[in-house]
């Protein structure tokens, strides 16, 4: 899915979220298609925007609350 959305092989995907158990699998999967950046969700909004702009992120992944629910 991410490889379909990435515009070039140098595309950057940013992941903004707490540390959930499933996030490492998401990072490894995205790394097969492009560059991944993990951003701490506790940073101030203006700092997050500056990071996204400086790394020229093409895609932002923000997992919803259902990711953290136990199966």
Kindly report the backbone phi and psi dihedral angles of residue 28, in degrees, each rounded to the nearest multiple of 5, phi listed first: -65, -40
**Predicted TM-score (pTM) of this structure:** 0.72
Residues of the chain with pLDDT under 50: none
- Quote the pLDDT of residue 6: 55
Helix (H, G, I), strand (E, B) or coil at 18: coil
Helices (H) and strands (E) in the chain, counts: 3, 3
């Amino acid at each position: 899915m991410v490889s379909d959305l990435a515009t070039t092989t140098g595309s950057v995907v940013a992941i903004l979220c707490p540390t959930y158990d499933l996030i490492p699998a998401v990072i490894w999967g995205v790394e097969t298609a492009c560059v991944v950046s993990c951003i701490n969700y506790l940073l101030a909004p203006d700092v997050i925007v500056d990071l996204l702009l400086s790394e020229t992120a093409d895609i932002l992944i923000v997992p919803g609350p259902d990711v953290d629910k136990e199966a």
